[in-house]
Amino acid sequence: MSISVFELFKIGIGPSSSHTVGPMVAAERFICDLESRGDLTKVERVEVHLYGSLALTGVGHGTDMAVLMGLEGESPETIDIDTIDGRIAAIEKHQQLILNGLRAIHFERDRDLIFHKEEFLPQHSNGLTCKAFAGEECLLERSYFSIGGGFVLSEEDFANKEQIATLLPYDFSSAEDLMALCEQNHWTIAELAMENEKAFRSDQEVTDLLWHIWEVMEASIERGCHQSGVLPGGLGVRRRAEEHFRELSKQTDEERRQGLAILDWVSLFALAVNEENAARGRIVTAPTNGAAGVIPATIAYYVQFVHTQEEHGDLKNQVVKFLLTAGAIGMLFKKNASISAAEVGCQGEIGVACSMASAGLAAVQGGSNAQIENAAEIGMEHNLGLTCDPIGGLVQVPCIERNTMGAVKAINAARLALRGTGAHIVPLDSVIETMRQTGIDMQHKYKETSLGGLAVNAVNC
């Protein structure tokens, strides 16, 4: 399955790529299918059935909100996030949905949005089925699967995943393939990734779009550093980034760059992004929402504490190199394991983001392809077995702090790799396969169901 870097870095909203972004995309796709068939004007009632992890932690992740907004024709990238709460309140008060902004129908939340907490669809643990009716006649029924990172497959797509991909000129299915292609063509990983992106758009478009991705990441850091209060959801989690930012801003330039003070800033960057994510703000899925702070925090570290024009060249080109390199590594996990916590636990989210960030950082600091691969391997190797056990089904505890750990670990992994020759015992492909096997062996209760781990034990403390 061929993947574009822009499928791994998508502009959207919080709090979850698999439980918020994916269901919104699926619901919007269902409505578009109805309209293309000429059936939208006939619809009198819509039902949406949520299964598995979407049902178990859907309310805490905003799945219900996402589905309703998708049915009204909204997409994660363009929805006005400041209007969501008011629109949801209006839907519940008036019991009315406006399908695709065109067709008003009666909608009863408890009747028409059904959570099947004990049932899983066989294809994937994040499944939903949409049904549209005219009277008793079912006009259309479609099942969709939110497979992580905002990726959505229909039932038909799921059965034909290998047939729906764009053919890339330098496609690769393993890190070994990737390294061999780079060596044959005398390319860096970023250069090969750029050649593949040209199958979708021009190199200037790729450069401009990736820079825009960074601008959105940077904006989420900036906004997160200036917001205060308590995060929604009922846990009473207080936003900390704003206070940390005020305290750290008192430092002189010399103090800011001394010792562990830099890591305080890295942690701040990650906190800011994931508090925005938890508050349903605008963020970049990278490669998931639950891990959305790792890569922005690592890039911000490079931009603010490492990059100089004289030594590293134009900043825009360096950020593009970072994201292309990170994207290539993310594709390996997507193809050969998973980036869905509902499938493999948080090793598939924070672990993959850490691996991607490690590789990107090694690349912009002049690392060879072998050192970059080593950095990616270190980044995942020390996240193996990481569970997903969000308290209350919310992407808050331990998720927000976990992003700070992922960013700091990414920096350390890149530094370790750059101090070596690139030679190492464990290949990246072996770590990816180990992550996949660990995910299979991991108990169901540790896979974004909030049925085990901190989600259960914290309430007893």
Low-confidence ranges of the chain (pLDDT < 70): 1-2, 161-166, 459-461
Torsion of CA 373, 378, 384, 387, to 10 degrees: -100
Q: What is the pLDDT of residue 166?
A: 57
Q: Are 354 and 410 in contact (CB under 8 A)?
A: yes
* 105 burial via Cβ count (<10 Å: 0-12, 13-18, 19+): middle
**Structure-block tokens of residue 213:** 């991705």
Give φ, ψ of 68 to 5 degrees.
-65, -45
pLDDT digits (tens, 9 = 90+) for 10-23: 999 999 999 999 99
Q: What is the DSSP letter of 327?
A: H
| Domain annotation for the chain: domains and CATH numbers | 19-146 (3.30.1330.90), 175-458 (1.10.4100)
Q: What is the pLDDT of residue 460?
A: 47
Give dist(CA 287, CA 292) in Å, integer. Answer: 7
Which residues, including other chains, have CB under 8 Å from residue 308's CB and lie 6 or more apart? Answer: none
Predicted model pTM: 0.91
- Angle between helices 294-301 and 350-364 in degrees, nearest 10: 20
